[in-house]
Structure 1
């Protein structure tokens, strides 16, 4: 596992706007505070989301992109990229693997944060089909695609993007957690980020209480002292 001092760039790949903020924004705020450059790659525009029937569906992609940019700013992230795939229709395709590989080669991260491709039977909402497809496409882009100069040859031949090997992958939402991050000191920014997703969270009567309970449970699971809050991940070290 890399020490945080060995990491200067992190790439986060998620299916929807708000996924990263529920799962990892406290951790990301800490990375940014430590001087790490973090990039968000959001595969869909979340166009199947939202709860207000008065809002025209055609406006949802614009709204959700703006919400994600504002949420990212709450954690200190300014580089947010959208791939524009359709919400609710995500599958692992050669094209999606190429598009994620492109961003990997552009950003050249030592560490990536992705969603789990494995179903969590204890927390089915974490296993949204788009989440699992995003996770599977992302890990295939990490290995073998982005590191292989002969995969997706147009990336090198037409765009000049050399192969890049990611060293470590953090997985959020995984049914087995192997690492925990204390996010007590960045929790307020996590809540600020989640509230920026107004179309998704404004209907929740006690957003902070819900997220705080979740974080307290993970902190207890990690063995942290009472009163602390945590986020949990599965970590995989990539082959050299």
Structure 2
């Protein structure tokens, strides 16, 4: 079940300006695969960075474990899932992403395990990215702001699948399906982490990130009584400015970067 990330302007994981500066994200790559649990996870997390990357000619593919069908209390899953899929595709298009796939795990009760690892490893083999992106895989967003089980399961499985994808003896059935091992993942970047290490200048993509999140209007209108555009703008600009205090004063999107 989808839940928005906490307001990072008040959460401790962006921290005060006295914390160490964030390093620039690597730029020597061409293909990235973003793997998250729900529609809107990337829009709350890192769409401004994605917009800048697609502007530079990089290829980004989105893979979502669920269709977010359990995310709106007033909508039955059979109605909610297709609607949220449609909103996700429109949202991705705003930041230059045309390839959006769904793994059809069940929203709200995703299980960490072999099936999830296999599905993500298959996606990595299929798209052969150098950079894999996911969302916070830890129990909290920092402090006592509790994360959701779906985020934890998908984030952890993505970190594991980056290795699984390159090992021909793990999930050998994937090769029988024409998905040969891919050991070319160089980094996994975790958005929304309480322990960020790197960042991307959000300035080129910030306005599009607002419009991208706003495409999830059905979900946002169920979430808050605030004007949807005001809500999206306040949330995203506040987070980018807070992160920027550790990135030379420029609005930024933060990641915890795991090298491989």
TM-score using structure 1 length: 0.90
Report Cα offsets for 1:191-222 as digits up to 9, x if no partner: 11100011222335231122211211111133
Structure 1 residue runs of 4 or more that deviate by more than 6 Å after TM superposition:
none
2:178 aligned residue: 160
Report the alpha carbon displacement of residue 47 of structure 1 after superposing the two structures with TM. Answer: 1.1
Report the alpha carbon displacement of residue 77 of structure 1 after superposing the two structures with TM. Answer: 0.1
Partners of 2:48 and 2:205 within 8 A in 1: yes
Aligned pairs for 1:135-174 (under 5 A) are: 135-143=155-163, 145-157=164-176, 159-165=177-183, 166-174=185-193
2:213 and 2:35 mapped to 1: Cα distance? 17
CA RMSD of aligned residues (A): 1.6
1:168 and 1:2 mapped to 2: Cα distance? 10
TM-score using structure 2 length: 0.84
1:124 equivalenced with 2:142 (yes/no): no
Report the alpha carbon displacement of residue 2 of structure 1 after superposing the two structures with TM. Answer: 7.5
Report Cα offsets for 1:165-185 as digits up to 9, x if no partner: 111111111111111111122
Q: Secondary structure at the match of 2:179?
A: coil
Report Cα offsets for 1:112-131 as digits up to 9, x if no partner: 00122222333625x21110
1:18 aligned residue: 40
1:77 equivalenced with 2:102 (yes/no): no
Point out where structure 1 has 5 or more consecutive residues left out of the alignment. none
1:218 aligned residue: 243
Point out where structure 2 has 5 or more consecutive residues left out of the alignment. 1-23
Residues 118 and 94 from structure 1, CA distance in 2 versus in 1: closer, same or farther, beyond 3 angstroms?
same
Alignment size in residue pairs:
229
Residues 170 and 90 from structure 1, CA distance in 2 versus in 1: closer, same or farther, beyond 3 angstroms?
same
Higher helix share: 1
Partners of 2:126 and 2:179 within 8 A in 1: yes
